Amino acid sequence: SQTIHQWPATLVQPVGSPLSLECTVEGTSNPNLYWYRQAAGRGLQLLFYSVGIGQISSEVPQNLSASRPQDRQFILSSKKLLLSDSGFYLCAWSVNPNQPQHFGDGTRLSIL
């Protein structure tokens, strides 16, 4: 069966520090991968998605970037965090666009 792992579960970072959140999927090949941010009361905001290695689509211009160095690995990064980057970050995968997305347990990011 397929599983998705996200880490870390929680992270506290100072303003201006770098960020790296990692997501890996097991049990499937060539999944579509997604990064979302969830702010309180504002639903899910799609940040990036990828349909293959090295292919990244950005939905919202911002302080973040994403990379897909391997088929089942998706990384969310920032060179310098802002206070506004605080939130709950979710990674998801799907077999294809017409199938459901399956979510990881999320990373709670707090910026001080």
Partner 1 sequence: AQSVTQPDIHITVSEGASLELRCNYSYGATPYLFWYVQSPGQGLQLLLKYLSGDTLVQGIKGFEAEFKRSQSSFNLRKPSVHWSDAAEYFCAVGAGGSEKLVFGKGTKLTVNP
Q: How far is CA 37 from CA 2, 30, 33, in A?
A: 23, 23, 14
Judged by CB under 8 A, the residue of 49, 72, 75, 78 near partner 1 is: 49
Residue in 65, 67, 30, 37 with CA at minimum distance from that of residue 51: 30
CB closer to partner 1, 43 vs 61? 43
Which of 11, 51, 53, 56 is close enough to bind partner 1 by CB under 8 A? 51
Q: Which amino acid is at 58?
A: S
Q: Contact region for partner 1 (CB under 8 A) — 14-22, 34-42, 62-70, 71-79?
A: 34-42
